[in-house]
Amino acid sequence: MRFKPIKNLHLSVHPPFGKVTVSSPEFFDLEKVRVYLITRLSWIKREQTKIANQEREGEKVFITHESHLFLGKRYLLRCIVSPKSKVILKHNHIELFSKVDSLTIEKQKTLYRWYRNELRIRVGALIEQYASIMHVGIPEFGIRAMKTKWGSCVTQNQTLWFNIELAKKPIECIEYIVVHEMVHLLERNHNKNFVILMDRYLPNWRLQKKVLNELPI
């Protein structure tokens, strides 16, 4: 739980484990927050049940013919022995080149380097597009592993962060997260004004949010 300089209390349940986070106005006391959470217990349990029942990607061992997602589409992995590690997307295959004695973790790192680069290209293009539409400066952004969020906005230094797992999601879902975080440059809180701005810049954002939340995690 965090106390922040905000007007309203915000409660969220995050995949993949149903973690609950609470952001409270600084003027609330712990007892008031506790009472609020008690009133929301049924909703929290429903959200955690939905997350627990959500389809999940199985553990990957990085062998030929194993399926991997990229931009919402399934591709078959083709492992190729090579002195240089790299990834090439070819038709319905992701070709992963690695040394003959490469461990699973090394193959995973190679694929995720590629994911990071591909996601950076697409996120960068979307940021430029919406910076122009929103009449804001182009913010700094980064790609990293995130356990409970698809993205975040550090308003103090105008920096956006995006979950590397977004590389597996459809481009429309990536667009939704980019717009969501960029709207935070204009409105820090998830309030009525935030919703108005989301409706203005991405009218179908609710659909994309639903699609993203129902995809395998």
The interaxial angle of helices 104-134 and 171-183, nearest 10 deg, is: 60
**Considering the entire predicted model, what is its pTM?**
0.81
d(CA 131, CA 199): 16
Higher-confidence residue: 19 or 217? 19
The model's pLDDT over 144-156, given as tens digits with 9 standing for 90+, comes to 999 888 999 998 8
* First-last CA distance in the chain: 24
pLDDT in tens, 43-70: 888 888 877 776 667 789 999 999 999 9
Residue 132: half-sphere exposure toward Cβ, Cα within 13 Å: 5
pLDDT in tens, 67-113: 999 999 999 999 999 999 999 999 999 999 999 999 999 999 999 99
Rounded mean pLDDT of 129-134? 97
Q: What per-residue confidence (pLDDT) applies to 16?
A: 65
Record the tokens describing residue 157, joined without a space: 């230094």
